[in-house]
Amino acid sequence: MGARISQKIAKTLIWTIALTVIIILMAIIVFILYNGLRVINWTFLTEIPREMGQQGGILSPIIGTLTVTVLAVVIAMPFGIGTAFYLAEYTRGGAVTRIIRFCTESLAGIPSIVYGLFGLIFFVTTLGLGWSILSGGLTVAIMILPTIIRTSEEAIRSVPNIYREVSFTLGATKWQTIRKAVTPSAVRGIANGIILSIGRCVAETAAVMLTAGTVLTMPESIFSSSRTMALHFYLLAMEGTAMDKAFGTSAVLIILIFFINVVANALVNRFVSKGH
Amino acid sequence: MKNFKEKLSGRVFLTLALFSILALAVITIFILVQGAPVIGKHGFAFIAGTSWSPGNGEFGILPMIIGSVAVTLGAAVIGVPIGICCAVFMAEFAPSLMRTIFRPAIQLLAGIPSVVYGFWGLLFVVPFISNHLGGLGLSILAGSVILSLMMLPTIISISEVSIIVLPSTYKDGALALGMTHWQTIRSVQLPAAKSGIVAAVILGLGRAVGETMAVIMVLGNATAIPSSVLEPVRTLTTNIGIEMGYAEGEHRQALFATGIILFVIIMILNISAQYITRNKSKSLKIK
Amino acid sequence: MGKNISFFKGFVSLALTCASVITATSCSSGGNIENGGTKSHVVVAGSTSVQPYMEVLAEEYVKFYPDSAVDVQGGGSSAGISAVGSGIADIGMSSRSLSESEVELYQFTTIAKDGLALIVHPENPVDNLTLEQIRDIYTGEITDWSQVSDQFEGDIFPITREEGSGTRSFFEEFVMDGQRITSKAIVQSTNGTIRTLVSGNARGNKQAIGFISLGVLELPGQNPVKGLQIGGVAPTTENLANGSYELFRPFLVVVGEEREESTHFIDFILSDTGQGLLEARGLVRIDGG
Amino acid sequence: MEKYKIEIKNFNFYFGEKQVIYNLNLKVQANRILSVFGPANSGTTTLLRSLNRLCELNPELRYEGEILLDGKSIFDSRESVTQLRRRVGMVFEVPTPLPMSIYENVSYGLRLGQGKSKAAIMEAVELSLKQAALWEEVKERLDAPAMSLSGGQQQRLCVARVLALKPEVVLIDRACSGLDPISTAKIEESMSQLKKEYTIIISPHNVQQAIRVSDRAAFLLMGHLVEEGTNDEMFTNPQDKRTSDYVTGRFG
């Protein structure tokens, strides 16, 4: 009899714990969207902040987030994907590749504040790039590089080896095999890895705080400093002087990240459902 | 012409790989070079020192290590059981409609910036602790709650997948033996999915250890060694976050040394994860 | 061609177009950094106490001189000074007087005087504390409100600023005079966060005490806080101007090597419009006008 | 004198330390179907994969001896591997269409930069699909994904894909192991027509297939060539006892 009772207890316990926790988690999003959506209007999205962000909109932080993210992805993508192809296709998985893979694994785990510290000293001061979108972009690029390498390499490795053999038997060279036989089935996995990295760039605060800087004015070029949305939200939330703008900024962030997930899922689902 | 393109592609991939490895090496070497002197000079005193006061040249980060460990352990104690419970719920109990709503929500929760959790904590968790449990509310408990919330989406989604991908024969076999659903989960499915769950937990812990901005909001950042869960504390990451703007000379090197210790903690987490997941097969004992 | 290859090409071309757009804009205006062309670009960094006022000054300055741009960063006084030293910033903001080594390295100009106010929650009955009492609270000597007042009790939660903050070093110099702030004190990185903590409505907030710039004492639309009298003297701009309230510190701007745009901006701060702006926001003018 | 397409002279093949093929001497007649049969891992697949140097994908292998194609060694560096593989096509055991449309699969080899015009490619695609007896079933849906075809159709697609390159030799590695009898019959029937234009070497799915399809046969056992000869010699009165035991199914 004991088993049946423990089954009932366990089931109700799991139901209650899981439901309450997931509801609480979703309540966070609802709470922020509820308070934030009221603030979002055309001027909020098209005006630059004034009075330390207490007035005006969040146009320059939006531009800051987009430019830092695009710059980071544009820099990290070729190197990340190139390395992944090199590791997956051109090396024999010897000691060297294992070491490289372990390093990328650990570097992917390093806290972003350490990247921020490195970026501050290396890019901002030593290379003299100053607080700028370029410094922020470079720092975030190095931060997402290990992740892009790892996800891309997994995607390339998941391509069945028989495709490569078929391509070779049809007289293709290695480069043609990579381009025509491997890439088509690996591209979805690679793109998914990149889109998740974009999500991480958008949500980043520690690594951009003292590399991209905290300036609220409109950046003229990648050499001018600009505060990203996530950082703007953090500073407003800490100051506590402009709560409505803080809610608005976080609501915009959540919506942006939601769209990033939608695009990532659209890619993965077609990939997973076919392979699953 | 064809083998020119052949050689070129090989070279291009090689150079891209070398650049990436160079970049990753530069950051690792830079951190080691900047941080090593402090560890060298202060040696054990750096890790065991209890007073951190850069103004007076005292660089003991034991309070920060204790802070990081306390907050991360607190987050694990709260987050891991609840995370696994939610994962089991999503994999085994949740009706499909609920699953289709919760799964994208959980994925979104994994993506939103951690400062949103910090903000939510500042508004609700900190006042709640202060009103009901005493103190100012900025405490290890507040940090642990926030970090556990942040870990949950990662733990839930990855653990759920590692349960779902289990071959259905495991479950059918156990049920065929007359086991109840809960017994099947506890003694068959969870042990079998153990490696996936462990990986998820390690990933979640890694994010908790590495979190900075959200915990600066709720921990109070005092440099004393806390004597209770309700006291303010400063972690290794918040120490860097608060002081890196104005750190100079030896103070800056001490922050890099803190980075090295974080690097070591993450490596330990990674290695232990690989170790646990490697001897997976031994652990599959049908109770 | 397979759909997914075109996706990959689409993705790559999209990224590359963005890159070219960014690099194009950067080259066109990147030039002005070096030869100080049409758009003068001044980077100001430093004390978070001075930052709100500097933001207002910068917004006003750009109205008068539309072809100039002023970037204002926070980070704390020492961060500002070190930023000028390493060339990342043109002007440093400090809410503390410079140390001997700094005085040799940089020229500084005082732009205003700002008081330091000790604040408690409005419901905290304590109105007046002496410097010694405040010092003992912050060294951890005094830990309970009952030790300083017979109408209130409960643990005292002292809140301080981070080490690089000018406000903190001024507090350490004038109030603590050499004694260390207890390591149990809560550390927050801006006036705003301290003010929010002290004015919060949870039980603990009512027992908190912090110090902020006088200019931020009254913030319309925010929870009120109570400024403590120091030895009977209330923290008001009048008492600050007439010298009876002794806790005040200079707001300085610090410059490394001479730069025409920097001095132009500093002259604007010292001009009547600049000083008027600062006075309107609770600071004491430096030109005594 | 019979014209030999491929001559294998004292060919030894090592996979790392393990030797897989021992001192093999074999002559392959042109425009004939040779089946190379034997129990599992007796070296049949390895031999086939040596003929188009596909084995070189694996670094830990060594070989000694000569393999001549039309009298010239396939291992001499002047002639590029890709050229060799266009002349010696291969069909794999498991049907493996590439993740593309039917048209792209069949024309894959032709679109590798030979500068062929679209029309020429289309013509080659049609011809090879007809040769593989698949044209009728797919001619309306050439753009459909290859994965949508049935197992038998996919295998015939793989055959068509090789024939599109107009190779001289076609290696078929246990082609119909997973197929239904009808598809197997279709492929075997197309094979016997193809031998007019191509030299075919097949490692048969089983002995019956060898008897049905090949002209000559060679029996490999644990990497050693036991016996080689015409179908009649090999399957009706084999000289070597081991061949007769294997052929009559006493061990398999």
CB contact under 8 A, B220 and C187: yes
Question: Does residue A34 belong to any structural domain of this protein?
Answer: no
| Count of residues making up chain C | 289
Whose tokens are 């993450």? That residue is B266
pLDDT for the residue A63 = 94
Classify residue C122 by its DSSP letter: T
* pLDDT tens readout for residues C218-234: 888 888 999 999 989 99
Average pLDDT, chain C: 84
**Structure confidence at residue A197 (pLDDT):** 92
CB-based contact, A158 to chain D, within 8 Å:
no
The tokens for B179 are 């086991």
Check if B3 contacts D (Cβ < 8 Å): yes
pLDDT digits (tens, 9 = 90+) for B59-89: 889 999 999 999 999 999 999 999 999 999 9
Does A89 touch chain D if contact means CB atoms closer than 8 Å? no
Highest mean pLDDT among B6-10, B89-93, C28-32: B89-93
Cα B183 to Cα B92, B169, B192: the distances in Å are 13, 15, 13
A46/A43 Cα distance (integer angstroms): 5
Q: What is the mean pLDDT of residues C269-284?
A: 89
- Does residue A131 lie within any of the structural domains? yes
With respect to residue B259, please indicate whether it lies within any of the assigned structural domains: yes
Tell whether A7 is covered by a domain: no
Given an 8 Å threshold on Cβ–Cβ distance, is A261 in contact with B113? no
| Chain B, nearest residue to C202 by Cα | B127
Cβ-based contacts of B212 with chain A (< 8 Å):
111-113, 205-206
Q: Which domain holds residue A234?
A: 42-272
Asked whether A144 and A197 are in contact (CB, 8 A), the reply is: yes
Number of A/D CB contacts below 8 angstroms equals 62
More confident residue, D76 or C280: C280
Contact check, Cβ <8 Å, C192/A220: no
Report residue B98 as tokens.
């609920």
Chain A residues in contact with D103 by the CB 8 A cut-off are none
Residue of chain B whose alpha carbon sits nearest to that of C207: B136
Decide if pLDDT at C29 tops 50. no
Chain segment D53-92, per-residue pLDDT in tens? 888 877 788 888 888 888 888 887 777 788 888 888 888 8
Residues of B in contact with D82 (CB under 8 A): 2
Each domain of chain D, given as residue ranges in start order, spans: 6-247
For the segment C56-79, the average pLDDT, to the nearest whole number, is 88
Q: How far apart are CA D226 and CA B263, in angstroms?
A: 62
- Per CB-CB distance under 8 Å, the chain C contacts of D101 are 2
Please give the share of chain C, as a percent, with pLDDT higher than 90: 43
Q: Indicate the pLDDT class of residue B279, thresholds 50, 70 and 90.
A: low
Residues of chain C neighbouring B49 (CB-CB closer than 8 A): none
In the prediction, which pLDDT does A108 show?
Answer: 85
- What percentage of residues in chain C have a pLDDT greater than 70? 86
| pLDDT tens-digit readout, A233-249 | 999 988 888 889 999 99
- Asked if C55 and A51 come within 8 Å (Cβ–Cβ), the reply is yes
**pLDDT at residue A199 tops 80:** yes
**Position D26, amino acid:** L
Global pTM reads 0.86
- B19 located within any domain: no
Which of residues B192 and D207 earns the better pLDDT score? B192
Sort strands B58-59 and C40-46 into parallel, antiparallel or unpaired: unpaired
Three-state SS for D38? coil
Contact A104 B24 (CB under 8 A): yes
Asked whether residue B7 is domain-assigned, the answer is no
Can you tell me whether residue B22 is helix, strand or coil? helix
Name the neighbours of D, counting chains with at least 3 Cβ pairs within 8 A: A, B, C
Please give the average per-residue pLDDT across A66-73, as a whole number: 95
Residue C288: predicted pLDDT: 62
Residue in chain A lying closest to B103 (CA): A22
Closest alpha carbon to C219 in A32, A248, A243: A243
The total number of structural domains in chain A stands at 1
Interchain contact C288–D (C-beta under 8 A): no
Q: Which amino acid is present at B49?
A: G
Contacts of A22 in chain B (CB under 8 A): 86, 102, 105-106
CATH no. for residue B184? 1.10.3720.10
CATH number of domain containing A141: 1.10.3720.10
Would you say C128 and C239 are in contact if contact means Cβ atoms under 8 Å apart? no
- Is B11 a domain residue? no
Residue located via tokens 């903050």:
C165
Per-residue confidence band for B285, with pLDDT thresholds at 50, 70 and 90: very low
Neighbours of chain B (3+ CB pairs under 8 A): A, C, D
Average pLDDT rounded to a whole number, residues D215-230: 85
DSSP H/E element including A124? none
Instruction: Using the predicted structure, report yes or no on whether residue C3 has a pLDDT greater than 80.
Output: no
For range B209-228, the mean pLDDT: 92
Provide the pLDDT for residue D51.
87
Interface check for C2 against chain D (CB to CB < 8 A): the answer is yes
The residue with greater pLDDT, B92 or B277, is: B92
Cβ contacts from B onto C, under 8 A:
79
Q: Is B227 within 8 Å of chain D by CB?
A: no
Q: What is the CATH number of domain D6-247?
A: 3.40.50.300
B23 found inside a domain: no
Mean pLDDT highest for which of A88-97, B144-153, D194-203?
B144-153
* Interface residues from chain D to C (CB-CB < 8 Å): 99-101, 104
**Looking at the DSSP assignment, which residues form a beta bridge with residue C119?**
C210, C227
pLDDT(D49) > 60: yes
C188 touches chain B (CB under 8 A): yes
Contact A170 D108 (CB under 8 A): yes
Q: Confidence class of residue C120 from pLDDT cuts 50, 70 and 90?
A: very high
pLDDT, tens only, C205-264: 999 999 999 888 888 888 899 999 998 999 988 888 888 898 988 899 999 888 888 999
Contact of C268 with chain B, judged by CB distance below 8 Å, is answered with no
A14-48, pLDDT tens digit by residue? 999 999 998 999 999 999 999 999 999 998 999 88
For chain B, what is the domain count?
1
Mean pLDDT of chain A: 88
